[in-house]
Amino acid sequence: MGKPTGFIDYERQDSIAVKPKDRIKNFGEFHIQLSMEERKKQGARCMECGVPFCQSGMMIGGMTSGCPLRNLIPEWNDALYHGNMELALGRLLKTNNFPEFTARVCPAPCESACTCNINTKPVAIKENEYGIIEYGYEHGLMKAKPPKVRTGKKIAVIGSGPSGLAAADQLNHRGHQVTVFERNDRVGGLLMYGIPNMKLEKEIILRRINRMEEEGVSFVTGTDIGKGEKAQTLYKDFDAIVLACGASNPRDIKVPGRDAEGIYFAVDYLRTVTKALLDGTLTDEKVMMAKGKKVVVIGGGDTGNDCVGTAIRQGAKSVLQLEMMPKPPVTRSENNPWPEWPKVLKTDYGQEEAIEVFGNDPRVYQTTVKEFLKNKEGKLSKLKLVKLESKKEEKTGRFLMEEVDGSEYEVEADLVFIAAGFLGTEKYVTDAFGVEQNERMNVKTEMDSYATNVKNIFVAGDMHRGQSLVVWAIWEGREAARAVDSYLMGYTNL
């Protein structure tokens, strides 16, 4: 530990967010980073606890507590405090292939599990992670390091999201020849075409892909494996296959009027906007679909928030966000103690922006859609909403959300984005490879295993564990790579 009294001497300091009214003028990242002097102080707040819960990566009550990658947080905080940035970078990269992604988009379960979080503010772990990796890039420490020896084994990775990229990176460094196949026109999965540019600028992904290419990984885009004969050809041509296709089947809202014009899935909207931003067609009328419109986002989670932020940047007239569940408490409730993930009210960037622009929080709780109403031309005009209340089911003792009689009301809407979660992986891919799915429509494996029922075929990421987080996807990619390496070589040193 660098400074025994660090957490007493220094307050937590986050990077400074540009004011909502200014940042909504563009789609750029909007945090002004701390100086190196300030970063060292933030590193000094870490006490190198005997039991560092921050790096535990446990599941408690179905929620993540601590870093799923088991990042060596106290070690790199200490190195950062002492200004030994090369050491800090080395320790960070030992467990995390892509800190530049997690340092931007991770919800930081490490921080909620930090011991300081019991009665004061946690160490700014995610900010420190950002400082270390960006120092590495700025100071030429992130040069390509191709493997010195090649094994002669060929591996196909299907899907270029964080799990596919992590698996490819690990297997390539081990000396295997890796080709990543991606159906989209750009590499990155949901990092590229899900998470908006203001959270993760797409140059950051390209910077990493360029390095991976220099190190010997091949990328083939615009190839949808599973359509046509491609799956069987790959099976013959490669020694092993890693499926990392995500869990992109969106949950629909199946109520009357669903066929009205103006209703889209959230990820389709976010993909359209990011693609246009990168293609230079952002101002096209079709892309600027929220401009001057009354927008309703169905789903109160992070994807819904991304739609709120994106619609505001496009100049929406109003934005309403519907959430079925009750409003969470502002502070932890008694049955949700540290180091559990805190189930508390979080006002994210999009909601902050809506409060600033429209003067009120866009979220409406315990509410769902009963019907989409359309005009004579078939265009969406209104939503019929209904209030919900939590009721205990006699038989199971579970709490369910039920409609409140007579609570229906209507709101005007031109545009709806459905952000109601995902229902597992797409079946055509699993069918093409003959791999089994489980009841949640993810790919079936034994517990803690990454091998599917088909010899040579492995699975990683959301396709394996269901829609999750980037940090879990990286972990899954690393673990799947270990499984593939053991299978091909008889042992693994990954």
Ligand X SMILES: Cc1cc2nc3c(=O)[nH]c(=O)nc-3n(C[C@H](O)[C@H](O)[C@H](O)COP(=O)(O)OP(=O)(O)OC[C@H]3O[C@@H](n4cnc5c(N)ncnc54)[C@H](O)[C@@H]3O)c2cc1C
The residue ranges that bind ligand SF4 (CB under 6 A) are 67, 69, 71, 73, 96, 102, 106, 108-110, 125-126, 129, 471
SS3 348: coil
- Interface of this chain with ligand X, residues 92 to 111, rule: CB under 6 A: 105-106
Which regions of 22-88 does DSSP assign to beta strands (E)? 31-32, 58-60, 63-65
Contact track, ligand X, 149-188, x by CB under 6 A:
---------xxxxxxx----------------xxxx----
Give the shortest CB-405-to-ligand X separation in angstroms.
35
For 245-261, the DSSP string reads -----BPP---TTTTSB
Question: Using CB under 6 A as the criterion, what x/- string covers residues 10-39 for binding ligand X?
Answer: ------------------------------
Q: How far is the CB of 469 from ligand SF4 (least distance, A)?
A: 8
User: Residue 244 or 297: which CB sits closer to ligand X?
Assistant: 244
Closest CB to ligand SF4 among 110 and 273? 110
Binding mask 244-283 for ligand X (x = CB under 6 A): xxx-x------------------x--x-------------
Are 289 and 266 contacting, i.e. CB atoms less than 8 angstroms apart? no
Tokens of 184: 């989209």
Alpha carbons 152 and 131: distance in angstroms, whole number: 38
Residue with tokens 């390095």: 211
Nearest-angstrom CA–CA distance, 201 and 277: 11
Is 199 a binder of ligand X (CB under 6 A)? yes
299 binds ligand X (CB under 6 A): no
Contact region with ligand X (CB under 6 A), list: 75-83, 257-265, 317-325, 463-471:
463-471
Q: How many CB atoms lie within 10 A of CB 233?
A: 12
Burial of 179 (0-12, 13-18, 19+ CB in 10 A): middle
Q: Work out how close the CB of 15 gets to ligand SF4 at its nearest, in angstroms, rounded to a whole number.
A: 13
Residues 308, 313, 316, 317: is their CA dihedral positive or negative?
positive
CB nearer to ligand SF4: give 77 or 177: 77
Nearer to ligand SF4, 126 or 202 (CB): 126
Query: Which positions from 385 to 424 touch ligand X by CB under 6 A, shown as an x/- string?
Result: ----------------------------------------
Residue 126 binding result from ligand X, ligand SF4, none, given CB thresholds of 5 to 8 Å by partner type: ligand SF4
Judged by CB, which is closer to ligand X: 224, or 361? Answer: 224
Q: What is the number of residues in the chain?
A: 494
Of 294, 286, 297, nearest to 264 by C-alpha is 297
Q: How far apart are CA 177 and CA 490, in angstroms?
A: 17
Contact call for residues 55 and 328 (beta carbons, < 8 A): no
Give per-residue burial for 381-412: e unless 16+ CB within 10 Å, then b: bbbbbbbbeeeeeeeeeeeebeeeeeeeeebe
The least distance separating ligand X from the CB of residue 480, rounded to whole angstroms, comes to: 10
Nearest distance, CB of residue 95 and ligand SF4, angstroms:
8
Range 343-362, binding ligand X (CB under 6 A)? none
Point out which residues bind ligand X (CB under 6 A): 105-106, 158-164, 181-184, 189-191, 194-195, 199, 224-226, 244-246, 248, 267, 270, 302-303, 306, 429, 461-463, 467-471, 473
